[in-house]
Amino acid sequence: MGPSSNHARKVRLEANHPIEDDLHFTNEWEHDVYRVLKEKQAALPDDETIGIMPLCRMRVLGSTREPDFLITYKGRAGVIEVDGPHHEGPKRASDDHSRTRLLLNAGVQWVDRLDVRDTKNRAEVEKFVNNFLSRLGRR
């Protein structure tokens, strides 16, 4: 038995999921967001870098959660959720709000959702990431 890891445990069991830098992603949408985050990371000064943790598991009150991305920046932690078409309907929206509240109560300073249906090109993903980091950095 090899070393144990929580990282992307569910995704690792699925065939043909994207992998880059030995990090696993649920789908191409998440992989695209990662690429934009990685470019932003490379453009920042060394003393102002971001940490990018896709699909890390975390225990919060009453459950274990797996945010799409946990981002650290300027001493703060934020979560990016990449929502696909499966996030439709009032029940799903209610569940998303409950998860967001749990993360905020656990010390995550900012949670934002990128709806892939509203993202038509890379420039929109870049704008989302820039806005996310700006809000996280000033909280």
Rounded distance, CA 33 to CA 124, Å? 10
pLDDT tens digits, one per residue of 22-58:
999 999 999 999 999 999 999 999 999 999 999 999 9
CB burial of 108-125 (b: ≥16 within 10 Å; e: otherwise) equals bbbbbebebeebeeeeeb
Closest CA to 103 of 83, 82, 85, 80: 80
What's the pLDDT at 120? 85
Cα 49 versus chain centre, distance: 16
pLDDT tens digits, one per residue of 89-99:
555 554 667 88
**DSSP output for the chain:** ------TTHHHHTSTT--EETTEE-SSHHHHHHHHHHHHHHHHS-GGG-EEEEET--EEETTEEE--SEEEEETTEEEEEEEE-GGG-SHHHHHHHHHHHHHHHHTT--EEEEEEGGG--SHHHHHHHHHHHHHHHHH-
Angle between helices 122-138 and 28-43 (to 10 degrees): 60
Domain boundaries, the chain: 9-138
Q: Which CATH code fits 9-138? A: 3.40.1350
What's the pLDDT at 109? 95
What's the pLDDT at 1? 42
Cα 121 versus chain centre, distance: 18
Which pTM does this prediction carry?
0.83
What's the pLDDT at 117? 86
